[in-house]
Amino acid sequence: VKVKEYKYPAKEILELWEDLLLCQFHDVLPGSCIGMVYYEEVYPIARKFSRRPVRLSTKR
């Protein structure tokens, strides 16, 4: 499906990639970090990008 208004989110994908690499370095991905790290690093990223599909789907 092609959407005329869709713009490839290159900047957002790059930011996600950098966050993923940072999390890997800080033991977030293997799950061996302390709980506070999830609240400071992982959850904000998840919230930010989980809202994007909703914004796109309600955009007119």
pLDDT of residue 58: 65
pLDDT of residue 1: 59
Q: Taking 70 as the threshold, does the pLDDT of residue 10 lie above it? A: yes
Q: Where are the domains of the chain?
A: 31-60
3-state DSSP of the chain: CCCCCCCCCHHHHHHHHHHHHHHHHCCCCCCCCCHHHHHHHHHHHHHHHHCHHHHHHHCC
What's the rounded mean pLDDT across residues 42-49? 76
What's the rounded mean pLDDT across residues 38-59? 71
Q: Report the first-to-last Cα separation within the chain, whole angstroms.
A: 17
Alpha-carbon distance of 24 to 6, in angstroms, equals 30
